[in-house]
Amino acid sequence: MTSPRPAKRPRAGGRRAAATLPLDAPQPELAGPDTLELDMPALDMPEPVARLTSLTTERLILRPLTTADAEALHRLVNDFEVTRNLTVVPFPYPRALADEWIAATARELAAGSAYQVAITGHEGDEEVLVGVVGVRVDAALRSYDAKAREVNSASRAGRLGYWVGRRFWGHGVASEAAGRLARWAMANLPIDVLGAEVATDNPASAAVLRRIGFRQVGEGVTEFRSRGGQHPVWQFMATRDDIFGHTEVGPATEPGDKPLLLVAACALIDIDGRVLLARRPEGKKMAGLWEFPGGKLNPGETPEAALIRELKEELGIDVSAACLAPFAFASHAYERFHLLMPLYLCRRWKGIPRAREGQTLSWVRPTRLAEYEMPPADKPLIPLLREFL
């Protein structure tokens, strides 16, 4: 891990920024491109649990909380203008609760159930605590509109929350920190959708969520402990496409038709019958999903030529066309395009597969392929591959 460059200290001023997230509840853990270097494939292991030591932005560092943060955390959060926007945080906020909550975040980080981390900046050479941002895995997303409920019932969900000390409001801290963690979470955690809630009298925080890709999908009522009762909230949601954007394709050939996207994929099979999967890294479309190595065909390029090129670029291996055996194909209608993807099998190549584009690699036994979350187009290929191998 490279040392994060010093971050400028955010200045005081502005409106409040907070989305509801328990400050007295335990938390899980994270890992990302700033903290993890996995260029060699994992060997027949379940989908790896993410680990996080730090994430950086232009001005900020996101890192696990420590006992040394307790005093500064208490000073920042023991402020009614902050706690009034957090659902389960009391006011006044007891000093001892800061120590208990920080210890809980460490346990949940180790368990991978929640990732609540410190937001820090720098004043000269001194690190300054600015606030907290977190994602809870397998969170219940409740009372969303009909479309959102349908998505959530079939998706792995997480919940995003954050708060920033009042003296740092109004300078983009919340957007910078929450956006960084949301992108990391989508790319590294077993989630397909993120939810968040904001009190209706906190439009600044609603603007933060919209700025980082969230959509308002409903309204509800939530208990706010510091206010001593229920208060109306806006409910927000973000999918992988909301956070990373849609796959770019060319225009359709006929008006009203969907553009056709041609992609070639390869199932590399080792001598033990395991298949190599790659997890798309943060910053790429469909980040966080596992897939067979491969990629888009260039104009005039054959699937075999595309795979030879892509496998060299992605994994650093050399493959000949004679070693690529056509196996099956996927034809899938996405919302904005139609994907046609031939899948090839390959048992012979030159070199050792290594991650060259920030992806995570894993050798997976055919019986365990279904445990890895893949794009919809890839999923029908799994039973065919499993039966064949």
pLDDT in tens, 159-194: 999 999 999 999 899 999 999 999 999 888 888 899
Flag whether 204 is in a domain.
yes
pLDDT, residue 2, reads 33
> 146 with 181, same domain?
yes
Residue position matching structure tokens 């907290």:
132
Do 162 and 204 lie in one domain? The reply is yes
Last-in-domain residue among 244, 279, 314: 244
* Integer CA distances (angstroms), 38 to 1, 129, 157, 245, 288, in order: 12, 30, 25, 25, 14
What mean pLDDT is predicted for residues 344-352? Answer: 95
Whether 2 is covered by a domain: the verdict is: no
Domain endpoint, select from 209, 244, 279: 244
Residue 131 sits in a domain whose CATH number is 3.40.630.30
Q: Can you give the pLDDT at residue 151?
A: 42
Which pLDDT value is given to residue 281?
85
User: How far is it, in rounded angstroms, from Cα 263 to Cα 258?
Assistant: 15
Q: How many helices (H) and strands (E) does the chain have?
A: 9, 17
Confidence of residue 5 (pLDDT cuts 50, 70, 90): very low
Q: Note down the domain range covering 359.
A: 260-388
The phi and psi torsions of 93 (rounded to 5 degrees) equal -100, 115
pLDDT of residue 106: 95
Residues 238 and 265 in one domain: no
Same domain, 209 and 298: no
310 shares a domain with 188: no
Spatial contact of 352 and 332, defined as CB atoms under 8 Å apart = no
Residue 10 lies in a domain: no
> CATH code at 345?
3.90.79.10
Q: Is residue 87 part of a domain?
A: yes
Which amino acid does the sequence have at 275?
V
- Boundary of a domain, candidates 218, 244, 270: 244
154 plus 86 within the same structural domain: yes
What average pLDDT does the chain have? 83
User: Are the C-beta atoms of residues 312 and 266 closer than 8 Å to each other?
Assistant: no
User: By percentage, how much of the chain surpasses pLDDT 90?
Assistant: 63
| Cβ count near 164 (within 10 Å) | 28
Report pLDDT for 328: 94
Q: pLDDT tier at 11 (50, 70, 90 boundaries)?
A: very low
| Residue 26: both structure tokens together | 């335990």
Co-location of 193 and 113 in the same domain: yes
CA of residue 77 relative to chain centroid, distance: 27
Domain membership of residue 269 (yes or no) is yes
Question: Do both 199 and 336 map to the same domain?
Answer: no
Look up residue 309 and give its two tokens: 């090129």
Mean pLDDT of 374-389: 90
3-class secondary structure, 351: coil
Q: What are phi and psi of 255, to 5 degrees?
A: -55, 135
239 and 295 fall within a common domain: no
Q: Return the pLDDT at 48.
A: 57
Report the share of the chain in percent with pLDDT over 70: 80
Please tell me whether residues 216 and 273 are part of one structural domain: no
Q: How many structural domains does the chain have?
A: 2
Cα–Cα distance between 148 and 151 in angstroms, integer?
5
pLDDT digits (tens, 9 = 90+) for 268-290: 999 999 999 999 888 777 888 89
- Rounded Cα distance between 108 and 126, Å, is 28
Q: For residue 249, is it within any domain?
A: no
Task: Note the residue count of the chain.
Answer: 389
Together in a domain, 67 and 138? yes
4 domain-assigned: no
Q: What are phi and psi of 89, to 5 degrees?
A: -90, 125
6 found inside a domain: no
28-68 pLDDT, tens per residue?
A: 222 222 323 334 555 555 555 678 889 999 999 999 999 99
- pLDDT, tens digit (0-9, with 9 covering 90-100), for 200-220: 999 999 999 999 999 999 999
Do both 240 and 270 map to the same domain?
A: no
